[in-house]
Chain A
Amino acid sequence: MNFIPSPLDISKWQEWYKRNELQKFALFLSRLAEKVLLTEDFTTETPKKLGRLIIETSKLLESFIQDVPSNYLPGINEFLERIATHLRYIERARITQTPWSLVRSAEYFFKQQAGPKSNFIIRPTWSFNYSLIGEFWEFYKTVLKCWSWFPLEDLKKKIQFEDDVTIYCISFPRIERQNCLLHINWGHEVGHIFAAKWMESEFGDMWTSTQPEIQKRIEEQVRKSPPPVDPLFKEVAIHDSVARLTRKTMDIARSGLSELVCDIIGVHLFGLSAIAAALEFSSRYILDASPLQCSYYPPWRYRLREMLNYCEEDLKDHSVSYPGKIIKPFIDWLRQARELTHQKSDIRVLESNIVTKEAYDFISSKREIIINQVISLLPPDSQKQYKLYERAILVEKLVKRLYDGIPPNEISNLNGNPASLQDIISAGWIYQIQRSTNESGWGKIEDYDLLFRLILKACESSHIQKIWGPEFNKEKE
């Protein structure tokens, strides 16, 4: 029996309470996760996978808490508190909370990019932002490996995870739940997986080889207006300042590069639609905000320019490739957006500060090499860029279906070829831009609602047809 020690022996008494509270915490956590999995429906299996990971981890921890040396208790407490917060990703991924038809086809598409063992929870958040969180399984393994008494192999068997399984969570703004065209920003978030891989393997060496020159230029700048200190400490202050600014330059370059690479991955996968989504998203922000004022993010004008440059071929005057009138307004609209990026006010902002100037000089000098290296990390089938002009004839037919009030999931009845996610989204953007630029009356909330519904239905239908169609056709009556 586990009796409460006498309060007179305060250390034993306290430890008893610590262990029992932690045990309760672990038990409640596993029960809470079990309840969520039992009572809720999810669009894909991924939220359940994370749920099972939480359940089994907390159950195993609970069984060891009474016996582990007391110096492990604070770590266990911190870990349990952390994994308890992961429950919110599962809860928010309930099928009714998400644009489920898009979630299903998007996860399928992202698995093709990041590997079949990658998993994505897609959930809404009340903040107006898109983000990628994770990877979760690596976090669990890293912590649990440190505790030699924890049976990690048993956990792997229970949850049937191999070492290379990954679970990420993509968040999207709740207020835009139905706006499936904006959610193409998910492509940017998946880009973070590849950007992180590249950063880990290449950035360090690349920066190290360039840093001495950057540091030299920063030092020249600092010496022009040295820190106001006693002459005795002048050199120390200069060195300190140079080191600090060089470090900041690296952080800004790293962060800027990461975002720009993700933008390119998004555009690579979804083509001009990704730029349209970025334009819509950025329209509420200052285009020329310095990275120093916005968490080291690159200015939006800079990002849009890079994306548009990557799609230059799509924006050329392809009178042969875009023979009909349907795509033209969309291309014209993006060309106008390119005019926006011809203004160099963002560059002036970046050049006004030595740190941002050096960071972005570094980025622009390495841009081509880095993009090629990152794209080579994609699976072979995805290394070819999605180009609208190559898909124009098919996409035009999909847009015509939208005009007829029909989901663009295929180009005709009995066609047997479901449209790809990229083609469906392209059709949606082309339709939206054409109607909103050509028809003054179009743009009411009901108009967008109908468009989003048709796109969501198309995502569902094409995905089901892709997955289940071949299965149904195998069977004989």
Chain B
Amino acid sequence: MSTLTREYIKKYLKENTLIVTPILTSRQIGQSSIDVRLGNQFIVFRAHRFGIFDPFGKIVTEPRKVQERHIINFGDDFLLHPGVLILGCTFEYVSLPNDLECQVEGRSSWARFGLQVVTASTVEPGFKGVITLELSNVGTIPLTLKPGIRIAQLIFRKAYPPIQNPYPDDRKYKYSIGPQFSRLYDDSDWKTLHKNKFP
């Protein structure tokens, strides 16, 4: 798979087969990536209420019990303390054609302060929605984040051959407009493990 360079990214954008909307300034389009901004919704852990998330247990199997959503305004501060993981999202809504996949990567400018942007970084062809970002501060000092800052970059790669039935509507995280709670329990493996005891 080859990485799309600026010229091809622009071509896809102009043809509206790849949608990244809105791009507030053309400077977001780099040599082989598009910078994306931080959205204003976050999911944080309610560590003060629940000590454990155990999808196989009987007490807390629903992610929304151990996490809660926060919404702040564009330009307001969100403090990310060392050792804390939160879920954020891109401000831009992304729609990938069936012949492109995309990698989400942090920006090195932020990484130098200890901000890790993603842990699950591949977005499949046909995806539509804002991209949920797993943000964690592995540095030693708190970081101030602001919705609207350029937080990550999208790197596009050709998918060969193009996928015939890309990212169907019933997929877990399609058409999201904010960070999504984990839907681990939708995995068929999880259901099998939850119901049965192995011999």
Contact = CB atoms under 8 A, between A and B. Distances in A.
A453 B175 contact: yes
Given A405-B95, A405-B128, A407-B93, A465 B72 contact: no
Contact of B95 (A406, A465, A469): A406
Interface string B15-36: 0101111111111000000000
A100 B19 contact: no
A95 B10 CA distance: 36
A462 B177 contact: no
B148 A413 contact: no
A381 interface: no
B69 interface: yes
Interface string A425-458: 0000000000000000000000000100110110
B91 interface: yes
Given A414-B14, A469-B24, A406 B177 contact: no
A413 B24 contact: no
Interface string A374-415: 000000000000000000000000000000111101101110
A472 interface: yes
Contact of B69 (A96, A406, A457, A465): A96
Contacts of B21: 406-407, 409-410, 413, 461
Contacts of A404: 95, 128
Chain A interface helix/strand/loop/mixed: helix
A394 to B, nearest CB: 15
B198 to A, nearest CB: 36
B52 interface: no
A414 B27 contact: no
A107 interface: no
Given A407-B93, A457-B93, A414 B19 contact: no
A405 B175 CA distance: 7
A372 interface: no
Contacts of A472: 24-25
B71 interface: yes
A273 interface: no
A418 interface: yes
B93 A468 contact: no
A464 B25 contact: no
B22 A462 contact: yes
Choose among B25, B26, B74, B130 the residue with the greatest number of A CB atoms under 10 Å from its CB. B25
B16 to A, nearest CB: 5
Interface in B151-190: 174-175, 177
A134 B144 CA distance: 38
B93 A461 contact: yes
A43 interface: yes
Contacts of A319: none
A100 B16 CA distance: 28
Contacts of B148: 464, 468
B93 A413 contact: no
B119 interface: no
Interface in B114-166: 128, 130, 148
A409 B22 CA distance: 8
Interface in A95-123: 95-96, 100, 104
A153 interface: no
Interface in B70-128: 70-76, 91, 93, 95, 128
A414 B13 contact: yes
Interface residues of B, number: 31
A454 B175 contact: yes
Given A405-B175, A407-B93, A468-B148, A413 B23 contact: yes
A135 interface: no
A59 to B, nearest CB: 27
Contacts of B71: 41, 95-96, 100
A104 B10 CA distance: 31
Contacts of A43: 73
Contacts of A461: 21-22, 91, 93
Contacts of B73: 41, 43, 95, 104
Given A406-B95, A406-B128, A453-B175, A418 B72 contact: no
A477 interface: yes
Contacts of B69: 96
A293 interface: no
B27 A477 contact: yes
Choose among B18, B74, B130 the residue with the greatest number of A CB atoms under 10 Å from its CB. B74
A127 interface: no
Contacts of A208: none
Nearest to B10: A414
A119 to B, nearest CB: 16
Choose among A43, A406, A469 the residue with the greatest number of B CB atoms under 10 Å from its CB. A406
A440 B26 CA distance: 43
A413 B19 contact: yes
A91 B10 CA distance: 46
Choose among A43, A405, A410, A477 the residue with the greatest number of B CB atoms under 10 Å from its CB. A405
A449 to B, nearest CB: 9
A95 B128 contact: no
A201 interface: no
A95 B72 contact: yes
A462 B25 CA distance: 14
Contacts of A453: 175, 177
A418 B23 CA distance: 11
A210 interface: no
A392 B109 CA distance: 44
A209 interface: no
Given A410-B21, A468-B24, 5 more contacts: A406-B19, A407-B177, A409-B22, A469-B22, A472-B24
16 contacts: A41-B76, A95-B71, A96-B71, A406-B93, A409-B22, A409-B93, A413-B19, A413-B20, A418-B22, A454-B177, A461-B22, A464-B22, A464-B24, A464-B91, A468-B74, A468-B75
State the 4 A-B residue pairs at the shortest beta-carbon distance, nearest first. A413-B13, A457-B177, A465-B22, A472-B25
